Structure 1
Amino acid sequence: MTARHKATGIALAGIGPLVLTVLTASPAAAHGSMTDPVSRVSACFAEGPENPKSAACKAAVKAGGTQALYDWNGVRDGEAGGRSRTRIPDGKLCSANNPEYKGLDLPRADWPASTMRAGKHTFRYKATAPHKGYFELYLTKSSYDPAKPLKWSDLEAKPFAKVTDPKLTNGEYVFDGRVPARSGRHLIYSVWQRSDSPEAFYTCSDVVFGKALGGAAARPAPTASAPTATQLAAGAGKSSMDMSQHHHAGSAAGTHTDAVTQADADAPAPGGSSQTGGNAPHAQGGGKPAGGQQLAETGGDGSTAPLAIGGAAVLAVGAGVLLATTRRRAARHRG
C-alpha cells in the first residue's frame, strides 16, 4: 500500500464514524394525549389497534391504518407557534391536519365517549415527554352536530380552561377546570402549546352530558377507556415514535393552578402564516421557538435534520481537504 493510499484510508476511517453519527442523529417525537376525558386515539388504542371493538374505532383503522393508534401520543403540529386556528383547516382538527391520523376526523356520533357534567372537573393528560407550556381546553357549542366534520366554529371562541405548566403526577399532567353546562353528546378539544418550541399537541375527547338525545346523537355511546400501563408497554414496540432522546429529569417541575376558569385574554392571537399543510408525524417542532426562547432539554426541533445534513456536508468538505493535503504531502515525499 502506498503512503498516499494509507493516509487516505486513515483519514476516511476517522471521518466516517463522525459522518454516520451526524446523519443518524434524529429528533425525538411523541409526547402525550388526554386520558380524562379520554381522547379518541387513546380510546381506540385501548380497544386494541388490530381488533378494535367499537364501530367508530374500526372505521378509523380502516381509514388510516393501525399505526396511528400505536402512535397515540403524536398528534401534533411542529410549527404551530400559537397559530393553531390558521394552520389546521376545518374538518381536520382531530388529526391536526396530519394524514397519518385522518381516521380521527371521521364525523360520527358513536365514538367511544366519557360521561361529563358541568362544573369542576380534574383533567388528566398522559405525558410521555413533559415540556413547559400551556393547555387550552375548548368545548363544542350547543349547536354541535357530531355527524358533521368538526370545524373551528363548532368550538366556543375562548377556552373554558387554560393552565400553564400544570403539575405532573405519575406521568400525567393534572389540572382542574370548570366545564360549562351542556346536554347530550359533545367534544372537548385540547391544545397543548409548548413555550420552549413552536410545537403543539392536540386531542379530541368525546363526552356525553346526561343522555344523548335527539337526531344522530341518539346512537348508543360506547364507553371510552384509557389504555392501561400494560397496554402501553405492550404497544410501545410497534410505535414509530422515537423516545430515546427525551430526558424527563427536571421536567416535572410545574405550578399547579387550582382555579382554572374562563380563558384569559392573554391567549396568543392567531396570526402569521396561514399555512395549512400536513405535518411530518415523527419529527419535533421546527422553526424559531415561540418568543425566541431556547428549546427545552426534553425536546429538539425540526432544524436537527438540516443541521445533520449541514454537518455531514462540512465533514465531507473537511475529508476532501484532508485528502488533498495528504496527496500533496505524498507527492512531495516522492519528489
Structure 2
Amino acid sequence: MSARRKAAVATAGLVPLALTGLSAAPAAAHGSMGDPVSRVSQCFAEGPESPKSEACKAAVAAGGTQALYDWNGIRIGDAAGRHQELIPDGKLCSADSEAFKGLDLARDDWPATRVSSGEYTFKYRVTAPHKGTFTVYITKPGYDPSQPLAWDDLDLANPVATSTDPAATGGFYTFTGTLPERTGKQLLYAVWQRSDSPEAFYSCSDVAFGGTGTGTGGDGGTGTGGGAEPAEAAAPAPVASAPSQGQIEDGADKSTVENHGHGDDDPSTSAAPHAAADGTAPDASGTANRPEAAGAARNLAETGGDGNTPYLMIGGAAALALGSAALFASARRRTASGRHGR
C-alpha cells in the first residue's frame, strides 16, 4: 500500500473516533446536604441493602436501593432557577425523579438532626465541585410531616441561608445561616443552583427543634457538634447520622453507569472533572473528583470552570480530522483523474 493510501486510511479512521468523542467526554456531579444530613444521605449511611429506620426501609421498598447509592445525584439538568415550575408539590425531595420517589414519602418518623434556633453551620457534602449558589429554606410553623411536602409549606420569602461560591474543606462546602424559632419536626430544603450550568441539585433534611438557643451546627455525624440542649424532648424520630468517607468510597462502585458516584452523564450540564489537589488531571476512574482528605484546605468553588471547554477541544479535533479526510479524498480524485486521462 502506498504511503498516500496508508495516510488516507489512517485519517478516515480518526473521523468516527473524533465524532464519538463529542458525546463521550466525562461528566461530574455532585452532592447532598451533609449537616443537617439529607434523607438520601441518611438512608445511604444506614446501608442501602438493610436500612435500620422504618422510614428508610419504606423508601427502599418504594424506590429500590439504587437511589441510595446515587445519593449525590438528585438533580435537574436544565433547571436554570425554574425550581417551582419543574417540581410539583409532593415531589420536592425527589426533584420529581421517579428513581428517588421513596424520599417523598410523607411520614413523621424520618431520622432527624436535633437543632436549636439561632446561628447554624451548614455542611454540604460534595463529590464534584461547581460554582453556584446554595439556598436553604425551612418549613413554616405548623408544618405537618405526615402530609406530602408542598412548596407552600416552605417559607420561600425568608431563606435561612444563602451562599454563593462558599469555600470548602475536607469535601464539604461550609456556610452559615440562622434558624428561626420553631418547635418539633421541621424540614430544611436545600437548592444548589450552578452558575456555570443550568443544572441544580436538591435535598431534604429533617430536623427536630426542642427549646431555643444559639448553636453552631447539628450532630448529624459530620463533626460540627450540637447546639444547646433542648429544654424539652424533641419530636420522636431516630437521630440522623451522615455517611462516613469510607461508606461513600465503598458505595461508589455500586452507583449507576450514569452516576458512577459523581452524578449524571449529560454533557450539556456538567463541567469538566475537577483536577486533583496537586493540579494533575483526574484519572479515568474519576478519583480526583472525590472529597479531599479532612483538613485539606481548598476553595472548591474556584474549580467550576466552563463545561464547554472539553467539547470545543474535541470538536476541533473532529473538524481537523474531517478536513484532513476531505483533503486526502480530493487528492485521490485528482490522481485517479490523471490516470484515466492517460
Moved more, 178-187 or 40-49: 178-187
Which residue is 2:304 aligned to? 296
Q: 8 Å contact 1:22–1:312 — kept in the other structure?
A: no
CA–CA separation in structure 2 for the residues paired with 1:50 and 1:81: 35
CA RMSD of aligned residues (A): 3.3
Counterparts of 1:243-322 in structure 2 under 5 Å?
Answer: 243=262, 245-247=273-275, 252-253=298-299, 296-297=304-305, 300=307, 318=323, 321-322=326-327
What is the SS of the residue equivalent to 1:131? Answer: coil
Aligned equivalents of 1:197 and 1:60: distance in 2?
30
Partners of 2:200 and 2:14 lie apart in 1 by 40
What SS does the aligned partner of 2:15 have?
A: helix
Pair 8,199 (structure 1): closer, same or farther in 2 beyond 3 Å: same
Is residue 241 of structure 2 the alignment partner of residue 225 of structure 1?
A: yes
Amino acid at match of 2:166: P
**2:333 aligned with 1:328, yes or no?**
yes
How far has the Cα of 1:23 moved from its partner? 3.7
Aligned to 1:59: 58
Distance 1:313 1:18, change over 3 A: closer
Q: What SS does structure 2 have at the residue aligned with 1:205?
A: strand
One-letter amino acid of the counterpart of residue 195, structure 2: S
Letter in 1 for 2:208: V
Q: Which 5+ residue runs of structure 2 have no aligned equivalent? A: 212-233, 263-271, 280-296
Q: TM-score, normalised by structure 2?
A: 0.73
Once the two structures are superposed, residues 164-189 of structure 1 have per-residue CA deviations (whole angstroms, 9 ceiling, x without a partner) of 22231211111222111111111011
Number of aligned residues: 286
Deviates more, 1:324-333 or 1:131-140: 324-333
1:156 equivalent to 2:129? Answer no
Q: Which residue in the other structure is 2:223 paired with? A: none
Question: 1:192 aligns to what?
Answer: 192
Alignment of 1:16-31 (within 5 A): 16-26=16-26, 28-31=27-30
Equivalence for 2:269? none
* Bigger Cα displacement from structure 2, 161-170 vs 69-78: 161-170
In the superposition, relative to structure 1, how do residues 6 and 165 fare at CA in structure 2: closer, same or farther (>3 Å)?
closer
Q: Kindly provide the amino acid, as one letter, of the partner of residue 79 in structure 1.
A: D
* Greater mean deviation of Cα atoms: 177-186 or 236-245: 236-245
* 2:78 counterpart SS class: coil
Preserved CA contact (<8 Å) 1:94 1:202: yes
Aligned AA (2:144): D
1:99 maps to 98
Q: How far 1:57 moved relative to its partner? A: 1.2
Flag the 1:19–1:79 CA change in 2: closer, same or farther, 3 A.
Answer: closer
- Indicate whether 1:68 and 2:88 are aligned: no
CA distance in 2, matches of 1:58, 1:319: 58
- Separation of aligned partners in 2, 1:100 and 1:205: 18
Q: 5+ residue gaps in structure 1?
A: 212-217, 256-294
CA shift in 2, pair 1:146/1:195, >3 Å: same
Q: Distance in 2 between matches of 1:75 and 1:51?
A: 21
Is contact 1:129–1:248 with CA below 8 Å preserved after alignment? no
